[in-house]
Amino acid sequence: MPLSEQEQRLLEEMERGLYHNDADFVATVGGSSLRPNYRSISIGVLAAVAGIGGLIAGVAIQQLWLGVLGFMIMFGGVLIATTPSKSARRMSASAPRSRPNQQQSSSQRGFMDRMNERWDRRQDGQQ
């Protein structure tokens, strides 16, 4: 069921308020500006493929140690491919956190409290 025009306007207003008032939340939830490390991804994928090959070879020739070694290599390759590099972690940890220009009391209240208060003010103005 599509939203009515009033509901769409209300949703857009809430989104604008969220972007304006909760910059930290938007920065946290929003996409990362860091580029993926393609070198570690390719090395991880190659290690995972080699590990799968070792696992299959270990099962085929019935050598338990080769299968376990292949599994460990495969697992390590997946970890290498999916974990961010040390420089990316350092960059994200040292990124400056912006604080919105608000009163202390409004920043201590929750998002829903502020939305309810704005809703009440809007309803009082319309009646």
DSSP 8-state symbol, 31:
P
Which pTM does this prediction carry?
Answer: 0.47
| Angle in degrees, CA 48, 50, 53, rounded to 5 | 110
**Spatial separation of the C-alpha atoms in residues 94 and 88, rounded to whole Å:** 10
Q: Which pLDDT does position 99 carry in this prediction?
A: 46
Q: Which pLDDT does position 42 carry in this prediction?
A: 92
pLDDT (tens place) for every residue of the chain, 127 residues total: 787 888 888 888 888 777 777 766 666 666 555 677 888 999 999 999 999 999 999 999 999 999 999 999 999 999 999 887 766 555 555 554 544 444 445 556 678 888 888 888 887 876 5
CA-CA-CA-CA torsion sign (5, 7, 8, 13): positive
